[in-house]
Structure 1
Amino acid sequence: MGQAGKANSQPDSTYQACVSTLRPAANPNVHVLGYVATGFGSRASSAVEADVQTYAGWGAAYRPTGIFFDEVEGGSSANLALYTTYAAFARGQISGAFVSRYRCLKETKNQH
């Protein structure tokens, strides 16, 4: 979850009320994930880590149980190392964090 595609210092009251109904205690097969855009590896690591830290700082009743990294650029060992570092960072900030990612292809000007 992420309002307007970014981590806010605290979620609004609507999110806070909703998340408690999704928590693993109520739904053991559900993971509540904080959304973090990575810009296909071009977003500053400090900004990615700041988003993770923001989610980790949310109140326990609505804190995500993990992180969803979006815009993951794959295919190189450098990117593998980068996203491995992000996953380890997330797990260090949110105990037992479930980490997910979406590997997609970056569009070029000629794609529609």
Structure 2
Amino acid sequence: MFQLLSVIAAVLTLGSTVISTGLLVPLYAWPGIDAWNTIYDSIAAHPSIPFYLIINPSTGPGNTEYPEDVFITAIAKLNSYSNAKVLGYTYTKQGTRASSEVEKDIATYAKWATYAGQNIRLSGIFFDEAPNGEDPSKLAYFQNLSRKSKSSNLSIVVSNPGVKLVADVAEWFAAADFIVEYENTYANWVARAPDEHFSTSDHYGKDAIILNQTPEGADIDNVVRLAKDMGLGAIYLASDDNYMSLTTVPKVAVAVAQSQNARRIV
């Protein structure tokens, strides 16, 4: 009986983590006429999948109070979907950028919530070029930025060192909702065992991966299935390394949905 209950508990736990796995999309392409239609269509087609969408108007929010009209229209469209969470891009230069400059970006993104014309409120912040923990002094730097973001109603905090953390792992994960411990090529991902890309299995639910240079014939289904079986928090596979192309978004979304449905059947 104990063994049976253990199996049932494992299946239920797996099912809950699978459902929460989302897409973390660097949405860096300019939102011109019809440019983001692939994103809108995928979000609408898969309402049970969370989409975390990183927008980057000008290597950050730019110097104006509100974004350009083209971004206002596009962000408002994203916000019309309940499963879309829009994140504002900023960077830290591995924790060497002045904290005041990063906080200025946070304040600008937070200000967008006051725009009267349309709903361009953001859900969180994406900290690019984040530290990997090697320098212990950078932990307090990031903890401060995380608190600043959350107190500004930008509640989803994503840190992107792009590599696995090397120290103070629990503290780094405590300060973030997701940490991208892998941002590299598809070829490098499949060349090693998946667990080798992460600091620990204790925080898989907060781990995110972004694979780039994904070949046309890549087995996206297998990568997604493995990520969901591990219980990773978010995943994305891009065809390029500057994230201007959105051609893989529907493929990844379908793979996530199919894997999710397969787990529910089990």
What TM-score bracket applies, with the shorter chain setting the length? Answer: 0.7 to 0.9
Q: TM-score, normalised by structure 2?
A: 0.36
Find the counterpart in structure 2 of residue 79 from structure 1.
138
Matching residue's letter, 1:66? G
Percent identity of equivalent pairs: 31
SS at match of 1:68: strand
Q: 1:16 aligns with which of 72, 77, 90?
A: 72
Q: 1:88 aligns with which of 138, 144, 147?
A: 147
**Residues 16-55 of structure 1 mapped to structure 2, 5 A cutoff:** 16-23=72-79, 26-55=80-109
Q: Deviations over 1:84-109 (max 9, x none)?
A: 111110011126x111111136xxxx
Is residue 56 from structure 1 mapped to residue 115 from structure 2 by the alignment? no
Q: Deviations over 1:65-101 (max 9, x none)?
A: 1111100011233222211111110011126x11111
Rounded Cα–Cα distance in structure 2 between residues aligned with 1:53 and 1:5: 15
SS at match of 1:42: coil
Q: 5+ unaligned residues in a row in structure 2: which ranges? A: 1-54, 164-266
CA shift at 1:28, angstroms? 2.4
Rounded Cα–Cα distance in structure 2 between residues aligned with 1:86 and 1:29: 25
Matching residue's letter, 1:72? A
Rounded Cα–Cα distance in structure 2 between residues aligned with 1:47 and 1:83: 13
Matching residue's letter, 1:62? I
Matching residue's letter, 1:54? T
Q: Deviations over 1:12-58 (max 9, x none)?
A: 111101111211xx322221011111111010000000000011111
Find the counterpart in structure 2 of residue 109 from structure 1.
none
Structure number, greater radius of gyration: 2
Q: Hey, which of these two has a bigger chunk of helix by percent? A: 2
Q: TM-score, normalised by structure 1?
A: 0.81
Matching residue's letter, 1:69? F
Greater relative contact order structure (CA < 8 Å, 6+ sep): 1
SS at match of 2:104: helix
| Matched-pair contact (CA < 8 Å) for 1:74–1:80 | no
CA shift at 1:3, angstroms? 1.2
Q: Name the count of aligned residue pairs.
A: 102
Matching residue's letter, 2:129? E
